[in-house]
Structure 1
């Protein structure tokens, strides 16, 4: 089973041992960030630094000025933290020299700087609060920006394929600085309601489906009123329907899945148009279509007619068996003979991963229809975690 490890360029650049260390894990491929959101990341083995602070969402390569000239929405080049004019190309060359195939990792609809500089691009909740980290994918200007970014960032010289993350709706959930959102337990369904967008474009979308946008926003606020008092553990589509009502839940889901689905199809087409033959296009996704975030909700029966496959978040350990089945089963049911169904396991113990159970987890994922593995994250993991991965991969 082909295994790929996620890597940042700064994990590799300036560390002469990094590429060989990653290859020694037993992986054949790396998924190397080419466009990424702001982050603060450990580099526990790097000879020059221990913490990298990427201050804003950036292209980790030189954006093409001809493509972006005169455009209001455009990617920003990386700052001093990238330590190279073309961080992706520099790291990719070292990784290829170690015998690894290199694919791009492109984060799309997750960009706090975009929302700060252009507030009208952000998701607006039913209370009128903007989420600057969450570009609204119904906004035509945002869609144009995302499609061009997908094509440019994905198809870097020497890349064999791409993985597109956050290609769909982003919502309330976000690891924000000094986050204080944990005071009221918000279950799966309440998170969905708080992620519904009521910007002018989405209001027009709801109206086009026969709803009064203000009445719909008021219904969301009414549904959330008892949640603010007591919290909620309502989950899944049944939980959303219980809070909002079946008719309104169906209408919001129709608008959001239609909007996300068309963007996903267009992004895949844009990447294929920029790439040569054989270039693989995968999406980080969740088969629950209402999901927001890095693993955007998809309809597998729809998107697998366009993309080469999906990368799916899989919990590790015996307690994660049900979660693995929930994400892999619906995708495997629609997979063709050449569809990539990649099970993505966190192998960083400090981030809740379970590298010690990777062999068993990978075997279970294969039984559920997984054809490949992804390991998050070769640069962030401690030495003991990487040792567990090296031990597990031959058996996996």
Structure 2
């Protein structure tokens, strides 16, 4: 079983290679590093940071040095994060992991990008009223797809073993934008409708599948307007597969095809560079239709799946993995992320039991979230759990 810890590039830069990699190998005893390459905006508390506790992460920034020639003439291009200065954390990580015999994975946020969405609104999803959801990029947009492919090419320069693709799909309305406000109760059905993209590229993709896309948009807009206007309507249940005479469901199937084709293209490009690509499915099976996630189609296209195994008990982790089987995803096609922190684990035995469950089911990879956000004692917990299960640094 392969093991890795997810981390931010600033952890490596701020702590220095010896301290950083010493914690990974001597304390956690893992065989790999999953380093954020492009990441979204965040404000985090870092319990063991040597000089600071609170850090802001820059929206939509790259934690490697983009090759200007690859991005020449492109509107969508990742700027190097200001926090890295003149350094290249991925080059440093690549050199250190090779020297220490560790795997290097690139944890890459693709379509959740505040910076590029605000700079290029036409590349963001559009709801039924034409409002752009500027914290995201639309996977159907040709420029976004080329941007994603170029990111894969960039990461290949560093000899990365695998790409962990986060946010390689659509997002709903409520995705945690700071100071996001809803003073009137919208209800889950209206929220779902407000998150569906009707940009020209998505409507064209649906029309190519025989959907009357403009009629679907009009029906969705009318239903939203009714629910936004009438207080009692907000609480009404709704069926997505019945709206617009069932054509909305076919429209959403087209969104799934858009995401699958993009993920397949990236996986093929990654394989051409000798890398693997895993699709991060944070919500778990059965939750992603509105986001364009079709798990069986993704695995059939040769895309691996990574999911969150956040749970208090090993049995709950088992149930999470078993649920994927109901959606055509075998444990051997999964990587699972565990949290060793107190909210999920009460000690090494708890974590070891979860790892044992994953090994017993045939899950080949386990990762731990997140280096900078956990106490050093949580890293010791990883090491004790892995040793207890006989998992070596591989």
Q: Displacement, 1:239?
A: 5.5
CA RMSD of aligned residues (A): 3.1
8 Å Cα contact 1:315-1:323 kept in structure 2: no
8 Å Cα contact 2:340-2:369 kept in structure 1: yes
In the alignment, structure 1 residue 290 sits paired with structure 2 residue 288 = yes
User: Where in structure 2 are the equivalents of 1:232-381 lying within 5 Å?
Assistant: 240-241=240-241, 244=243, 247-273=246-272, 275-276=273-274, 279-285=275-281, 286-288=284-286, 290-291=288-289, 297-307=293-303, 309-318=304-313, 320-321=316-317, 324-325=320-321, 327-330=323-326, 333-335=328-330, 339-349=332-342, 353-354=344-345, 356=347, 357-381=350-374
8 Å Cα contact 2:112-2:135 kept in structure 1: yes
Q: Displacement, 1:181?
A: 4.4
TM-score scaled by length of structure 1:
0.83
Q: Indicate the larger mover: 106-115 or 310-319.
A: 310-319
Q: Unpaired runs of 5+ in structure 1?
A: none
Cα pair distance change 1:180/1:373, threshold 3 Å: same
Residue 153 of structure 2, aligned match among 139, 145, 151: 151
In the alignment, structure 1 residue 38 sits paired with structure 2 residue 41 = yes
Distance in 2 (alpha carbons) for counterparts of 1:232 and 1:369: 43
Query: Across the two proteins, how many residue pairs are aligned to each other?
Result: 378
**Other structure's SS at 1:210 match:** coil
8 Å Cα contact 1:57-1:112 kept in structure 2: yes
Q: Displacement, 1:124?
A: 0.8
Cα pair distance change 1:107/1:355, threshold 3 Å: farther
Q: Displacement, 1:377?
A: 0.9
**Other structure's SS at 1:132 match:** coil
Q: Unpaired runs of 5+ in structure 2?
A: 390-394
Distance in 2 (alpha carbons) for counterparts of 1:195 and 1:369: 36
Distance in 2 (alpha carbons) for counterparts of 1:233 and 1:392: 48
8 Å Cα contact 1:355-1:385 kept in structure 2: no
Q: Displacement, 1:263?
A: 0.7
CA shift digits 1:299-320 (9 cap, x unpaired): 334434423x221122312484
8 Å Cα contact 1:108-1:150 kept in structure 2: no
* Higher RCO (C-alpha 8 Å, min separation 6): 2
Distance in 2 (alpha carbons) for counterparts of 1:173 and 1:218: 22
- 2:207 maps to what in 1? 207
Cα pair distance change 1:355/1:71, threshold 3 Å: farther
Distance in 1 (alpha carbons) for counterparts of 2:262 and 2:140: 9
Distance in 1 (alpha carbons) for counterparts of 2:72 and 2:184: 45
Cα pair distance change 1:182/1:96, threshold 3 Å: farther
Q: Displacement, 1:322?
A: 7.7
